Amino acid sequence: MTLAPVLDRIDADLDASVERLFTLLRVPSISTDPAYAKDCQKAADILVDDLKSIGFDASKRETPGHPMVVAHADGEGQHVMFYGHYDVQPVDPLELWDNDPFDPKLEDAPKGKVIRGRGTSDDKGQLMTFVEACRAWKAVHGSLPAKISIFFEGEEESGSPSLIPFMKENAEELTADIALICDTGLYGDSTPAIITQLRGLLGEEIKITGPNKDLHSGMYGGLAMNPARVLAKIIASLHDETGRITLPDFYDGVPELSNELAASWDDLKFDEKDFLGDVGLSLPAGEQGRRPLEMIWSRPTCEVNGMTSGYTGEGFKTVLPSEASAKISFRLVGRQDPLKIRENFRKMVSDMVPEDCNVTFHDHGASPASQMSTTHPAFDQARKALTDEWPNAATFVGCGGSIPIAGHFKKYLGMDAMLVGFGKDDDQIHSPNEKYDLSSFHKGIRSWARILHKMSSDG
Amino acid sequence: MTLAPVLDRIDADLDASVERLFTLLRVPSISTDPAYAKDCQKAADILVDDLKSIGFDASKRETPGHPMVVAHADGEGQHVMFYGHYDVQPVDPLELWDNDPFDPKLEDAPKGKVIRGRGTSDDKGQLMTFVEACRAWKAVHGSLPAKISIFFEGEEESGSPSLIPFMKENAEELTADIALICDTGLYGDSTPAIITQLRGLLGEEIKITGPNKDLHSGMYGGLAMNPARVLAKIIASLHDETGRITLPDFYDGVPELSNELAASWDDLKFDEKDFLGDVGLSLPAGEQGRRPLEMIWSRPTCEVNGMTSGYTGEGFKTVLPSEASAKISFRLVGRQDPLKIRENFRKMVSDMVPEDCNVTFHDHGASPASQMSTTHPAFDQARKALTDEWPNAATFVGCGGSIPIAGHFKKYLGMDAMLVGFGKDDDQIHSPNEKYDLSSFHKGIRSWARILHKMSSDG
């Protein structure tokens, strides 16, 4: 089966592809907020219907949380399994969006057209690149260049509580020769990137309680314990003056960067001034003595993602708060053990809580870092296919984000995974005004068409 | 003019007095939130009408903020000026209220009936004790036992921005022989208390900004500055290990407790186990080596009243926040200079903000501590009158709260002030389910009737 007419078909069908993506983007499938559970169902239904229209045997599969979408289509050659997620991040602060986050628009921007809206880049736009590539193959040749399974989840942005049980229960059905995952980005603007290492993630919420109600800070201030001060002290103690994390044994299993990888990353000529400048910053703020790229790809972190206590509305209220809470996450690397780190974190925090306060912990997921097995032939095939499509040659890179699915595929299904994606650093994923370049979407579809071709016997 | 029939009239009229208070309590006059500006107007109108009905020459006086209520009535003897405030604290968290905070109820409680609702104790219930005492004098004798002016403001809970300009512009009209202020409490359950020292208050809001938007903590975490961590470090640094505040020169002007006052306070047999036990605590948490009563009456404090950063909703969002803010207040004593402390605080915070962050400050008011001049004869007259009404003899005490009006009366009008109030420690002012004991209201009215009598030539 030839590639050229498939690429032509993709070009000709682009407007319709964008329209199909818009239908999915209009559904506010925010997985972390129970108020949007029906919308998650609706997004899954749209995907099932669309996959059926291409000829997939597709179904929505209920879980205790949001449903999975699983689809299969026969084809020649290798069996590949494609993964993406249809759920999206919350949209607050809503007032910082220029438009309704769930009313997607195609906008002119300085570097070309962009698709604007929540989930455009993370991950609805990316997962549709693969679906649209399959649609084009099917339209042109009447069949696919591989046996293809598709697996979409709806809980990726909320810790994937149903994922592992579902994978275990459906292991045979979900196992293929290799998993393809589209939830990452290009390196810079035009260098296609294949991720070979991903940071893990540990999410913890802590709540410190003191007085049994908010107190008057005049009547009680000076005598009563203030949980906001306790929380601030705990957070302040998590890093030392050099930016290192102070948890006992935290750096166990953190590898030093190999000379080879260090040299390869140096070749990328990462410009931290540009990278930080785009978000209004200028100075690398991580561990002293580390390369900027190392700080985000291969060093662990501890960040406060949110904190709240007392009166936070307009004006002033002289209250002594009864509680204070924080959402704290760790990005993990190498062989760091998330469960051991959780245990040490909880112990350290508990030890700092004074006698008159209590602390409760809420688990928001834990996944180790992932290291890809680049010896699988798909890595070389994809590198060639991507190099054919893009101005620059494809490269192997690290990723600071956490996409635990790759590790799960290896652990529970014995399946290698390859991560290829077309997002850009300025896509503002997880932030207001998220966008996905129209060129990412268009060339993304063409890239998957090429990768599937390269992996086939005709490639 | 005789006292006995006035007290009888107060007893007979109690139900109607409660009903009149309810009318005022039903108005959500939350001064700190601009959404309730019209309600502040309405509360002022109700008071003007009520004072007119007793025979006062009463008027609502506009300011750039919420209006003042000023009223005058002739009478024999001394000229007293009574001050109270008709504005109330916000009600959040609303879900912790058992009833609508602005639908007041008379409830049976273990220690007797209570009036439940926002503002019952702070300060609508208290200010109405004086109004009702005047009403009873007027009803029985047709005249008042003193020349009486009344001055109610509507911005006490939001830093009183219009107060000083208004006092300066209307100095002659507002000046009397002494000011009477009803915004404080009994000592314990049944000991009437006359406040002789009050802490001052400095309110500051700080906002730390870093990245120009919320970032993905995977893409940026480890490289980008996190304002929540910067804020936590600043808050954690405000106290040392012994509970002392670390601002430079902070303790300038803080007097040591005199032996005489220490002995007098020791006589009060303050039970910190009970006081803290009522709010779910057990240990004095202030400066090491200080008496519990000293911690709240005569030592300065620094408290976090609120803080917020990043994602604080349901679930988890791995965001690296673009900003973090906190409301912080200082209670001041002795001759501490609020403006000097503000300057030192802002400098200390600014010095701790790293190069890639900015800090902005918002001023939420500053007032020094107050020391009353107990040589004015009204103090002795009130002590006797209160001792006649209550089971225990009246006593001179300190107060941890900040009622800057007393200092303003002295500074701008050259007028001494005397603070007498009937609130209780468990009134939950500034908290959900605020209440005022019906006995506080009833005996409070009787107390003012007695004080006015004692201050008159018949007393």
Q: Does any CB of chain B come closer than 8 Å to the CB of residue A109? A: no
CB contact at 8 A, A79 and A73: no
d(CA B136, CA B6): 6
pLDDT (tens digit per residue) in A347-389 = 999 999 999 999 999 999 898 999 888 889 999 999 999 999 9
d(CA B230, CA B233): 5
Question: Measured at the alpha carbon of residue B221, what is the angle toward residues B217 and B226, in degrees to the nearest 5?
Answer: 90
Q: Does any CB of chain A come closer than 8 Å to the CB of residue B99? A: no
Indicate the residue of A158, A236, A275 with minimum beta-carbon distance to B315. Answer: A158
Task: Using pLDDT thresholds of 50, 70 and 90, give the confidence band for residue B183.
Answer: very high
Most A CBs within 10 A among B36, B275, B319, B435, hence the mutation to make, goes to: B319
Residue B264 CB neighbour total at 10 angstroms = 15
Task: Using pLDDT thresholds of 50, 70 and 90, give the confidence band for residue B374.
Answer: confident
In chain A, where are the structural domains located? 4-198+369-455, 200-254+300-367
Task: Using pLDDT thresholds of 50, 70 and 90, give the confidence band for residue B418.
Answer: very high
Structure tokens that stand for B323 in this block = 């900003």
Structure tokens that stand for A291 in this block = 């390369």
Instruction: Give the mean pLDDT of A248-259.
Output: 95
Instruction: Give the mean pLDDT of A55-84.
Output: 97
Indicate the residue of B210, B222, B281 with minimum beta-carbon distance to A400. Answer: B222
d(CA A321, CA B96): 14
- Is beta strand B105-109 parallel, antiparallel or unpaired with respect to A435-437? unpaired
Span between the terminal Cα atoms of chain A, in Å: 9
> A319: which chain B residues are within 8 Å (Cβ-Cβ)?
305-306, 430-431
Indicate the residue of A235, A312, A432 with minimum beta-carbon distance to B306. Answer: A312
CATH architecture classification, B200-254+297-367: 2-Layer Sandwich (3.30)
Task: Using pLDDT thresholds of 50, 70 and 90, give the confidence band for residue B42.
Answer: very high
On the question of a cis peptide bond just before residue A161, with omega within 30 degrees of 0, the verdict is: no
What percentage of residues in chain A have a pLDDT greater than 70? 100
pLDDT of B17 above 90: yes
Q: At what angle do helices B227-236 and A227-236 cross, to 10 degrees?
A: 120
Q: Cβ separation of B356 and A283 shorter than 8 Å?
A: yes
Residue A282 CB neighbour total at 10 angstroms = 12
Name the residue with tokens 């900003």: B323
pLDDT of B24 above 90: yes
pLDDT of B267 above 90: no
Instruction: Give the mean pLDDT of A329-354.
Output: 97
d(CA B106, CA B441): 12
Name the residue with tokens 């040392």: B240
* Closest to A190 measured CA to CA, from A447, A433, A429: A447
pLDDT of A458 above 90: no
Chain A, nearest residue to B96 by Cα: A213
What is residue A120's predicted lDDT score, i.e. its pLDDT?
A: 98
Chain B segment 206-235 residues within 8 A of A by beta carbon are: 210-226, 228-229, 231-233, 235
pLDDT of A256 above 90: yes
Name the residue with tokens 């809470």: A325
Of the two residues A232 and B265, the one the predictor is more confident about is A232
Chain A segment 361-400 residues within 8 A of B by beta carbon are: 364-365, 399-400
pLDDT (tens digit per residue) in A204-220 = 999 999 999 999 898 89
For residue B47, what are the contacts with CB-CB under 8 A and spacing of at least 6?
Answer: B24, B58, B69, B86, B131, B152
> Of B70-79, B204-213, B403-412, B429-438, which gets the smallest average pLDDT?
B403-412
Coil, helix or strand at residue A359 = strand
pLDDT (tens digit per residue) in B292-319 = 999 999 999 999 999 999 999 988 889 9
pLDDT of B258 above 90: no
Mean of pLDDT over chain B: 95
pTM: 0.79
Most B CBs within 10 A among A29, A183, A291, A311, hence the mutation to make, goes to: A311
Task: Using pLDDT thresholds of 50, 70 and 90, give the confidence band for residue A457.
Answer: confident
For residue B223, what are the contacts with CB-CB under 8 A and spacing of at least 6?
Answer: A272, A275, A276, A284, A285, A286, A292, A295, A296
Task: Using pLDDT thresholds of 50, 70 and 90, give the confidence band for residue A409.
Answer: very high
Q: Please report the ipTM that was assigned to this predicted complex.
A: 0.78
> Of A101-105, A422-426, B55-59, which gets the smallest average pLDDT?
A422-426
pLDDT of A47 above 90: yes
What is residue B459's predicted lDDT score, i.e. its pLDDT?
A: 79
Instruction: Give the mean pLDDT of B176-183.
Output: 96
What is residue A185's predicted lDDT score, i.e. its pLDDT?
A: 94
What percentage of residues in chain B have a pLDDT greater than 70? 100
Per-residue CA distances from B419 to A56, B143, B150, B416, B452 (Å): 81, 24, 15, 10, 14
Q: Does any CB of chain B come closer than 8 Å to the CB of residue A94? A: no
Q: At what angle do helices B124-141 and B4-12 cross, to 10 degrees?
A: 120
pLDDT (tens digit per residue) in A290-327 = 999 999 999 999 999 999 999 999 888 899 999 999 99
Q: Cβ separation of A310 and B287 shorter than 8 Å?
A: no
Of the two residues A315 and A421, the one the predictor is more confident about is A421
What is residue A224's predicted lDDT score, i.e. its pLDDT?
A: 94
What is residue A149's predicted lDDT score, i.e. its pLDDT?
A: 98
pLDDT of A151 above 90: yes
* Closest to A56 measured CA to CA, from A141, A127, A144, A120: A144
Indicate the residue of B157, B232, B425 with minimum beta-carbon distance to A236. Answer: B232
Half-sphere exposure of B452 (CA within 13 A, CB side): 35
What is residue A373's predicted lDDT score, i.e. its pLDDT?
A: 82
Chain B, nearest residue to A244 by Cα: B222
What percentage of residues in chain A have a pLDDT greater than 90? 87
Alpha-helix residue ranges (DSSP H) falling in B146-216:
163-169, 171-174
The matching CATH number, chosen from 3.90.1170.40, 3.90.245.10, 3.30.70.360, 3.40.50.1000, for A200-254+300-367 is 3.30.70.360
pLDDT of B159 above 90: no
What is residue A205's predicted lDDT score, i.e. its pLDDT?
A: 98
CB contact at 8 A, A17 and A139: no
d(CA A277, CA B212): 10
Chain B, nearest residue to A431 by Cα: B214
pLDDT (tens digit per residue) in B215-236 = 989 889 999 999 999 999 999 9
Amino acid (1-letter code) at residue B86: Y
pLDDT (tens digit per residue) in B391-415 = 999 988 999 988 888 889 999 999 9
Q: Does any CB of chain A come closer than 8 Å to the CB of residue B276? A: yes
Mean of pLDDT over chain A: 95
Instruction: Give the mean pLDDT of A250-260.
Output: 93
E-assigned strand segments in A400-447 = 417-420, 435-437
Which of A15-23's residues contact partners 24+ apart within 8 Å by CB, and which partners?
A17/A128, A17/A132, A17/A135, A17/A441, A17/A445, A18/A106, A18/A115, A18/A438, A18/A441, A20/A50, A20/A128, A20/A132, A21/A104, A21/A115, A21/A120, A21/A124, A21/A125, A21/A128, A21/A441, A22/A104
pLDDT (tens digit per residue) in A10-27 = 999 999 999 999 999 999
Q: Cβ separation of A220 and B305 shorter than 8 Å?
A: no
**Which CATH fold topology does B4-198+369-455 show?**
Aminopeptidase (3.40.630)
